[in-house]
Amino acid sequence: MAPETVREHSVVYAPRIQDLLARDAKVFRVDARTVGVSDARLMAEIVAARPVLQTERSVYKPAAGADIPHDSATRTIRALGQDVMAGIRTPPPPARGLNGAWPYAPTSYLRRWLFGSDPLPVSLLAKRGITRSDTLSRLVDRAVTTWPGGAGGNGNSPGTPTAMAGLIRGADDPLERKQAVAMYRRASATLCDGVAALAGNALWLMRTAPEPHQDLTTVLWETLRLLPPAWMLYRNGGDAYAGLHPEIRPEDNVALLPLLMHRHPDYWADPLEFRPQRWEAVADPERTPGFMPFGFDGARCWAKHLVVPLAERLLTVALDHGLTIRGPRQDAPVPLRSLLSVRFEASVGS
């Protein structure tokens, strides 16, 4: 396939993503049971047609055989926000942790930065090596479920458990504790994976160090446009969507595709150019037509207020320590994954 060139270097998408990018229509059939949508108006109608189901949410889907109560979800969001803000204010781990394969290196780095103060076995919930193994994950979950706990979490200083760990310790019954364990694992993984993907995509699009005084926030908004980690939102089919468009039947699932909408010339001037300056005078990027980095009203990402500040902090650490993309390669692969992320090798300065 032909790579897509941005600023004299390229990203090479997995074939199924490339096939989507090649579509001209804004509404099209992906397969026998799935309709793809990149039309801004129709996307808004689909999102407004019904509330998001718990099974469609990666973090708040049922756990331990039961739905996640609303108040429990709210406590998790607040605790995670507290831990991220505490992490942003504390010194980061040694920058050598950013050496290696991206986005894996920054994912592990962020987990260590934000959740490394938690005691064993809780801290193992946020270890990438553990989360990649179903067997190890079950063993750690079992250990944490019986963990006696300690002082409540109130920050990320050494030896102080995080607020997320405090939710596990403070659970009132076995089911609540099991769900708190699942939420800790899901929330920490979703946040760290997403921020690492966003920062890595931004580094690849910048390619070189930003110009003096360049606003990294505008870089990140432009990255969310061109290479949004949340590139597709999946909705289970049903009668709520039938009638919104002739192509959508009651039995069809719907794939909302911000990746395509963010590149369409109906919504963007020079849509394939990386131009952070297009955001300089934008007071509220999320109100920009044809832009859906975190979803629509009523279905926005639960961590949207944390992602950009944390990604900016991570980028600042990387750039301050002279992180560079290694090797002579001028292209990077983008595999088919739930998060859209460029793969490359990087190293920090001495």
Residue-wise pLDDT tens digits, 277-327: 999 989 989 889 999 998 765 556 666 789 999 999 999 999 999 998 887
Rounded CA separation 148/157 (Å): 21
| pLDDT band of 113, cuts 50, 70, 90 | very high
Please provide the average confidence, as pLDDT, over all residues in the chain.
87
- The least confident of 128-137, 170-179, 273-282 is 128-137
Model pTM score:
0.90
Specify the 3-state DSSP secondary structure of 337: coil
pLDDT of residue 4: 63
Tokens coding 274? 């990386």
Tokens coding 316? 């600042």
pLDDT of residue 38: 97
Rounded CA separation 48/22 (Å): 28
pLDDT per residue over 174-233, tens digit each?
Answer: 899 889 989 998 999 999 999 999 999 999 998 766 665 678 999 999 999 999 999 999
Q: What is the mean pLDDT of residues 105-132?
A: 86
Ramachandran angles phi, psi of 210, nearest 5°: -65, 160
Answer whether residue 152 shows pLDDT above 50: no
End-to-end CA distance of the chain: 37
How many alpha carbons lie under 13 Å from residue 142 in its C-beta half-sphere?
Answer: 6
